[in-house]
Each structure stands twice: as C-alpha cells, then as structure tokens.
C-alpha cells in the first residue's frame, strides 16, 4: 500500500464542502437515502455514519437489502483543475434500522459502520511461530509479543501474505516498534504503509508486552499510543471502486489546515462556533473493560453420547472391526463439560449446564460453547502446560493420565478418545458405568471484566455512558482450588501466571477521566463548529486561522502561534435551519452540512 501523504507537515487552505453527501448501495446511488451524520475519531480512524429515508410498505425488505450490501457515503469535491473527486467518508455495512429515530412518519434511520472498524474488532486470523523445522501455526492464537529478556521476535524474516516480517520465536530477540507493527499488520492483513514512521521511533524497543489474544485494534493501540502514532486513512471512489490507503504516522505530523474566521469583510467565516465552556458537565458513567477472567481448574466431564447406544459387544466400538462405526463413534469416546447445556436434554440427559458463573465469578450470557486452553501453571520452559487428560476406571477413586490418543476439541470444552480400539480396562469400566474422564486446563470467560466510576454534576442530567476498552492492558487470571496444580502453586513448588489487575484498571480509568478533562487536568479540549462537510479533515491534522495563528485548547484563534489544535474527532451533520455560535447566531438556508471538530492542545 502506497503512502498518501508526506511525513512532513503540509499546509492546506481549508474549504468546507457544501455539496450534499451521496449514499451508494453496491456502487449505485440510492436517492431514497439521505445522510444524517458521520463521525471519525480516535487514533485508529474509526468511522460510523447514519442515513435516513422515507419508506412505507417496503421498509423491512429495504433493510434486508441494506444489511447484505456495501454502503458508501461520499461527498463530491471539485479539484483546482475542474475535475470532481469523490471523497469517501464511510464505506461499510448497515448494522440496524430504527423507525423511531426518524423525523418522518414513514421514514427509517439506518446506522452503518465502516468496514475498517469491523476488521479492527476481529481476532487475529493467524499467528505464526518460527520453529526448528520452519513456520508453525499457533492454533490457540494465545501469543504475546514479550519484552525485555523474554523477547520472542524471530531471528529470521518470513513471508506472510505480501509482507516480509519477523514472526514469533521462543527465546528470541526483542521487539521494536516497527517490527511489532509489521507483524500485526501482516498477521491481520491490514495493508498499512509503515514507511512514514520516523526512524528514531521505529527503532525503539517495546516497553510493554502486546497480547495478541484480543482484537486487532487492541493490539495496534498497545503499540501506537505509547509512541504517539496514529493511523490515517484516505478513501476515494474512482470508477465505481472504493480505493483506500492507510498509513501509520506520528500524531503531530499531520497537515496544517488554515481556517477563515469571521471578521473584516466576512459576515460569516468558515468557523461559526467555538465551545470552550468548562462548566460542570452532566453526570456520566465511565466504564473500563478488559478481557474476562481466565481460570485454570480440573474439570470432570460427562457423557457426550446417546446412552441408548451403550451395552453392545466390544467390537461395536472399534474403528477397525465395525463397518457402521460412525453410528457409535461418540460412545465412550466423547466427554464434554456441557458448559452451554447442549447435553442437558434428550437424548443425553446429563443434568444442568456446568456452572460457569461460579468458576468465573460472573454470569456468561448467553450460554455458549467454550474451549479448553493451556494451563496457567507453567512447565520447565516457562510456557503454560498443555491440557492434561486423566481417566479413572474405579468411579473416580484413582486417576492416571489417559494412555491413548486424545483430541482436545476446538468447537467446545470437550475431549475425544481417538484410539482405533479403546483400552480394554477403560472400555470394560465404561460399560460398567465406572469410567470417568477429567481435564486440567483453563477456560476463558467471554464476558469482559469491568470497573465503573461516575463524573459530572448529577443535578445537571445524565449523559450516555463512556465505555473504554483497556486494550489487553490488564490481566485477570487465577488457578482455582479444584486444579490438581493448586497445592503446588500455593506452596511455591509450581509457578503460574496469576493476576488480578482490578485495582490497576480502576486507577487507569481515573487517569483516562482526568485526561479527558472530566475530573480536571490533562489536555484541554475545545469544540470548533465549521460550515461545510470538510471531507478532507482527518484525526491528527492541526487547525490554524488565516493569519497563521493556532487554535488553542481554549478556542482562542489568536492565542497560540505555530502549534495549533490537534484534531481528535470530526463529526458532520446534514441539517436545515439555525446554527448557533458563541459569537452570535445566523440563519443558514437549505440543507447545510455543519462539521464539529474536537481539538486537543497540551
């Protein structure tokens, strides 16, 4: 992917676009849909939009069509040579439709999210290690980019997709900012251009580990934010194709945008409002989230087969001796935790679902299949022990590691005994109802750990909650007392990765509130209202007025020379009517796009 801009700051004369935005559905303009608003925000340039239209009987069918289509919101912009370039604001898919939000009795409002957002929210599709015989695929996708003496960057460079990158390797080298970004970029297929990262930043060693078990976006943020880097995107529509360029660059190296302020011969400037009001805000709940608890325990399993198939001759359950083995393939072989209640009803009748709420300390809703992961207890190499499968032939009185072939299932918390012929002692015990199977492994809760705090003035009303993703910054792991390793972990003869970072995450949340200027301190923020849709404006750009003075964090255009206010988010709304300003109020005719820009200044 080629760079879309120079690494040096480029000064641009601001010009808001007043042309209406056009909604394309599978590349075709849809006249029945009108843009309501779009927003881009954050260091990863996430984008969302809302469109609306007037429909009657076909509302449900139209929503079904939109949910399967590629939806594009674009603005035509005329270049200096007279050509028109379509600047894409959002390109993705519709998530939902809501008639209650529409201003029209027959209308419906549709929210759609950028395809880039969806890519960021996915898990890494593949993680690769350098082994003794070449590349090894990490099926558990449980790797961490480690720092310091435990660095695990490969000594060699490998071809992943279209990229040549370092992968992971036990007892490897330290990760730099550039090599860490390159491996996440390659594993996730992000197509990021990394050539705009200054050498002095790219060669820095990672100071914090990067957990790859979460989403792609979380992994990126763990690398970008500590080093002042952001993702900038340039999206255009050319010949019915959406073309996107993505690059990583320092936050402070974006373009400088000159604004036209009201005054002199101009009744209206491009800037029609500045909000630097620091009065007490309405109350808001702030919530920090991180990946849920991972708990190691020893789990006794239940039958995963139809009991009506039991009690046949031994040869019936032999892969080698029974031509109709597929009918009996699970009998005495499939042992399940029943974490989702799948085996509670007929014909299995294995009782209530396993109690995940007691294990994790929080309910899991809806009930869903999980999978056995490696233990938190470490082996001699410092890695988590692989799941241990044990069997008993005396109804659980004595246990030993199952001697045959065992498959730990990937689709649920279960094991399958893969022997061609089951062990004679075990099969006899199973037919007598005396066989038991247990697994020592860990389970990962799908529910995030959360801490919450409130800010603002409760008497001034309530704002929507602000939910912050901690990006795998904290760890919640423990070895349960039911684990066969528990005694060894307690007395110190075994090492285990255990952590409860609840207090640390609470302190982090408080700090984020301070940085957001909710509880005071941190960066000052100001909102600037501009006429037009400003499709060229991106997170990381700087705004200055026409004289070259910066727009500072208090909203004073003339107060700061050079630095200017950095763009944190951009939101454009297409609406009719009155626009208010801290400097007065005026009447704007027609469907006038208005852009609200959030700035930050140290």
Q: Assign 515 a pLDDT band (cuts: 50, 70, 90).
A: low
Arithmetic mean of pLDDT over the chain: 81
pLDDT at 2: 35
- Coil, helix or strand at residue 73: strand
pLDDT at 98: 59
CA distances (Å), origin 96, targets 39, 122, 146: 17, 19, 40
Percent of the chain at pLDDT > 90 equals 39
Q: Assign 20 a pLDDT band (cuts: 50, 70, 90).
A: confident
pLDDT at 79: 66
For 280-285, what is the mean pLDDT?
69
Poorest-pLDDT segment among 230-239, 259-268, 465-474: 259-268
Q: Which residue has the higher pLDDT, 456 or 422?
A: 422
542-545 and 107-114 beta bridge pairing: unpaired
For 553-566, what is the mean pLDDT?
46
Per DSSP (E only), the strands in 239-322 are 241-250, 256-259, 271-275, 282-290, 294-300, 302-303
For 49-78, what is the mean pLDDT?
78
Poorest-pLDDT segment among 55-64, 227-236, 302-311, 346-355: 55-64
d(CA 312, CA 317): 8
Percent of the chain at pLDDT > 70 equals 77
Rounded to 10°, the helix 216-224/177-188 angle is: 160
Q: Assign 411 a pLDDT band (cuts: 50, 70, 90).
A: very high
Reported as a single tens digit per residue, the pLDDT across 465-475 is: 788 887 667 88
Residue 258 gets which letter from DSSP? E
Cis previous bond, 217, omega within 30: no
For 535-546, what is the mean pLDDT?
76
Reported as a single tens digit per residue, the pLDDT across 322-340 is: 999 999 999 999 999 999 9
Number of H helices, E strands in the chain: 9, 39
pTM assigned to the model: 0.55
pLDDT at 561: 33
pLDDT of 97 above 70? no
d(CA 486, CA 219): 31
pLDDT of 101 above 70? no
For 555-576, what is the mean pLDDT?
62
pLDDT of 520 above 50? no
- 405, 417 Cβ separation under 8 angstroms: yes
pLDDT at 594: 84
Give the best-scoring range by mean pLDDT among 160-174, 266-280, 427-441, 577-591.
Answer: 427-441
pLDDT at 278: 44
Cis previous bond, 360, omega within 30: no
Q: Assign 271 a pLDDT band (cuts: 50, 70, 90).
A: low
């Amino acid at each position: 992917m080629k760079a879309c801009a120079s690494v040096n700051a480029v000064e641009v004369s601001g010009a808001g676009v007043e042309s209406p935005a056009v909604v394309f559905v599978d590349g075709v303009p849809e006249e029945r849909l009108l843009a309501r608003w779009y927003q881009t925000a954050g260091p990863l340039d996430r984008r969302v939009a809302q469109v609306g239209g007037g429909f009657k009987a076909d509302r449900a069918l139209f929503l079904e069509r939109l949910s399967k289509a590629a939806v594009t919101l674009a603005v035509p912009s005329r270049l200096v040579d007279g050509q028109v370039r379509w600047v894409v604001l959002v390109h993705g898919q519709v998530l939902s439709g809501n008639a209650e939000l529409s201003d029209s009795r027959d209308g419906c409002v549709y929210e759609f999210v950028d395809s880039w957002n969806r890519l960021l929210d996915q898990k890494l599709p593949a993680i690769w290690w350098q082994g003794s015989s070449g590349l090894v695929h990490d099926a558990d996708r449980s790797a961490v980019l480690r720092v310091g003496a435990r660095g695990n960057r490969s000594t060699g460079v490998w071809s992943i997709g279209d990229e040549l990158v370092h992968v992971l390797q036990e007892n490897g080298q330290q990760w730099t900012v550039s090599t860490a970004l390159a491996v996440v970029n390659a594993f996730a297929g992000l197509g990021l251009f990394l050539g705009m990262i200054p050498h002095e930043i790219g060669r820095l060693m990672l100071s914090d580990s990067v957990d790859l078990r979460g989403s792609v976006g979380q992994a990126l943020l763990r690398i970008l934010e500590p080093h002042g880097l952001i993702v900038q995107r340039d999206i255009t529509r050319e010949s019915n194709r959406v073309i996107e360029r993505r690059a990583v660059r320092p936050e402070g190296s974006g373009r400088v945008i000159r604004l036209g302020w009201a005054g002199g011969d101009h009744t209206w400037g491009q800037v029609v409002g500045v909000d630097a009001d620091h009065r007490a805000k309405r109350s808001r709940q702030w919530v920090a989230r991180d990946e849920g608890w991972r708990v190691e325990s020893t789990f006794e399993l239940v039958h995963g087969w139809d009991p009506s198939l039991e009690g046949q001759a031994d040869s019936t359950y032999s892969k080698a001796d029974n031509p109709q083995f597929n009918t009996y393939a699970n009998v005495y072989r499939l042992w399940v935790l029943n974490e989702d209640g799948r085996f509670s009803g007929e014909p299995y009748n294995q009782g209530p679902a396993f109690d995940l709420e007691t294990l994790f300390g929080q309910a899991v809703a809806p009930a869903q299949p999980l999978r056995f992961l490696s233990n938190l207890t470490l082996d001699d190499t410092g890695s988590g022990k692989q799941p241990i499968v044990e069997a008993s032939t005396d109804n659980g009185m004595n246990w030993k590691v199952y001697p045959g072939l065992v498959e730990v299932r990937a689709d649920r918390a279960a094991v399958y005994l893969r022997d061609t012929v089951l062990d004679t002692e075990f099969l006899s015990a199973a037919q007598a109802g005396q066989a038991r199977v247990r697994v020592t492994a860990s389970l990962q809760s799908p529910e995030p750990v959360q801490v919450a705090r409130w800010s603002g003035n409760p008497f001034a009303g309530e704002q929507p909650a602000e939910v912050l993703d901690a990006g795998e910054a904290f760890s919640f792991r423990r070895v349960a007392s039911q684990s066969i390793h528990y005694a060894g972990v307690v007395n110190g003869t075994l090492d285990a990765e255990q952590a409860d970072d609840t207090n640390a995450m609470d302190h982090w949340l408080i700090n984020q509130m301070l940085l957001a200027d909710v509880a005071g301190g941190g960066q000052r923020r100001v909102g600037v209202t501009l006429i037009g849709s400003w499709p060229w404006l991106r997170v990381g750009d700087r705004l200055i007025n026409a004289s070259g003075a910066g727009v500072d964090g208090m909203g004073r255009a003339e107060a700061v020379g050079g630095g200017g206010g950095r763009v944190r988010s951009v939101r454009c709304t297409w609406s009719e009517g009155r626009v208010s300003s801290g400097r007065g109020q005026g009447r704007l005719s027609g469907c006038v796009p208005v852009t609200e820009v959030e700035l930050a200044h140290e």
